[in-house]
Each structure stands twice: as C-alpha cells, then as structure tokens.
Amino acid sequence: MFKFLETFMVVYRTHSFSLAAQQLFITQPTVSNQIKQLEAQLNTELFERKSRRESVPTPAADILYKRSAKILDDWHDINTEITDLQASKKAHVRFGISQTVSRILFARIANQLNQRQPDVHYDVTVSNSEGVLTLLEDYKIDLGIIEKPLVTEHVKRLSIGKDQLVKAGTPTGTWITREAGSGIGYYTEQYFREADIHPIRLIHVNNSGLIRRIVSTGVGQALLSSKDVPENVQVETLGSAFIRDFYLLTRDEDLQVPLLMAITELIKQVTDNLDA
C-alpha cells in the first residue's frame, strides 16, 4: 500500500506514467499496475489518461495527494521509532539544505550537533532552495536551511543569519549562474534587472562548487557568497542591497516538538555571529 502511494505521488507530480517510471527506476507497466491496484482499493479513478504521455489527476487524486505525504511520513516515523527502539533508541533528524548552506554554514552546525547533541542521528540532503521547501512539504525532511526568501502555507520561516553577495570573476560578457529554484539564480536575476545587464552568454550550472571553479579559470562572472570566493579572483562588492538572509524552515505542526525546538535553538546560536 505504501509503495503504491509513493508511486501515485510521483505520477501526480509528473502527470506521466512513463516519467514516473523513469524517476522510480521501474517499468511503466509496473507503475500502471500499482495505480490500478490503488484505484481498485479506493473504488475510484485517480487519473484521466488524456494521451500516452499525459495523465491528468482527478478530484479524488487531489484529495489523496494532500493526505499521502502525511501518511507516508507517519509510516516512516513508525519505522524509524521501531528501528531506534530495537537498536540504540537514539533520535533521528533529517536536514535539507541549499548548496551555499552546505558550503559555508552547515559544517559549523554539524560541529555543534556533535558536541551538544551527541545522541542525535541525522541525514542531510542538499538541493536548491525550492527543492528543500518541497522536501519539507512532502515530509521527507524535518528542517530546512535555505537562502531564497520563499513563503508557503504551513511552513514557518526564521531568519538565522546574513550573507553578503559579491560579483566575482573576469568581465568577459559571460555570466555563470545556478538553475531556476536556487538562491543564487534568484539573486542573479535580480541583479541583472537592477543593473540592466544583458549577458553575451549565460551558463547555467546546478552546482555552486562548479561555479567557483569556472569563475576561477577566468571564463566570466558570477554572484557568489563573499565567504565562498576562490583565491585570486577579482571581486566587486554589491553593497547592502545584496545582503541576503539564511532561513530556517520548519512545518507549523512541528514547532512544539522538543528535539526540533532544541536543534532550532542550537542553529540560531551557531549563526548569531555570522559576519554579513
């Protein structure tokens, strides 16, 4: 049943049985069979097959999708609790962080977790800012840390530090930036608008570390955190207009969970002294 729900959620997002099969690394007939079994159990149709490539969710699918993430998260928690009970009874937290956070901030948090919460097990998933938010909404992580100012229902956003963006690299007319959904991509587009910049060539890269390496070779320019600029690279400060926040994301329903409250407080203390 739970595997069927996982398959259903991917089909719902992609509107495609074939794309869902690719993402789940299973065959399309397997996807179709699982959806048919789920429809049989619910005695309703979940998707209207408009064509071989598109499947449109029905109103029943809309209802099921809203509940499925919570059902799967509860099942995950049950499994985790039983596993912890049988093993070491240690707590477990899942973090989702953006790439800039992974490069310049999370190591400090991990250090303090190791010192002050040694019994906590944790996993870390790195994605862009919008990807982290989606993971939180889908109950696949417990806490998110991003730098793009996203707002959504039922998710609390707390500013936990400042970060100065700078223009780094050689002015060749080429700009290197991140993909849509990322913090760097968001602020780069903002900078283009405000400075009326029209790049001769625009290179999109989905990895902040690769942007640093490309910039260091003299290919072009990019917006980077002032804390993440390669050595011997030309830098131009952008001033206070491009001081951005790091944000801690939590679901409203988790605000009173003691472990998450303790880790939230720890993260705030780690980031209180960040230099802008």
Q: What is the pLDDT of residues 5-19, one digit of tens each?
A: 889 889 998 999 988
Q: Is the pLDDT of residue 91 over 90?
A: no
Q: What are the CA-CA distances from residue 72 to residues 65, 68, 138, 249 (Å)?
A: 11, 6, 9, 20
Instruction: Pick one of 3.40.640.10, 1.10.10.10, 3.40.50.720, 1.10.3720.10 as the CATH number of 2-82.
Output: 1.10.10.10
Task: For the chain, state the CA radius of gyration.
Answer: 22
pLDDT of residue 276: 44
Same fold: 2-82 with 87-161+244-271: no
- Reported as a single tens digit per residue, the pLDDT across 116-146 is 988 889 999 999 999 999 999 999 999 999 9
Architecture of domain 87-161+244-271 in this structure? 3-Layer(aba) Sandwich (3.40)
Q: Is the pLDDT of residue 268 over 50?
A: yes
* Average confidence (pLDDT) over 21-34: 90
pLDDT of residue 88: 47
Q: What is the spatial distance between Cα 87 and Cα 146, in angstroms, rounded to a whole number?
A: 32
Amino acid residing at 126: V
Structure tokens at 90: 């240690």
Q: What pTM value is reported for the model? A: 0.66
Q: Is the pLDDT of residue 272 over 90?
A: no
* Average confidence (pLDDT) over 142-154: 91
pLDDT of residue 274: 62
pLDDT of residue 143: 96
The domain limits of the chain are 2-82, 87-161+244-271, 162-243
pLDDT of residue 275: 54
Amino acid residing at 221: Q
Q: Is the pLDDT of residue 229 over 80?
A: yes
Please give the CATH number for the structural domain made up of 162-243: 3.40.190.10
Place of tokens 């913090």: 183
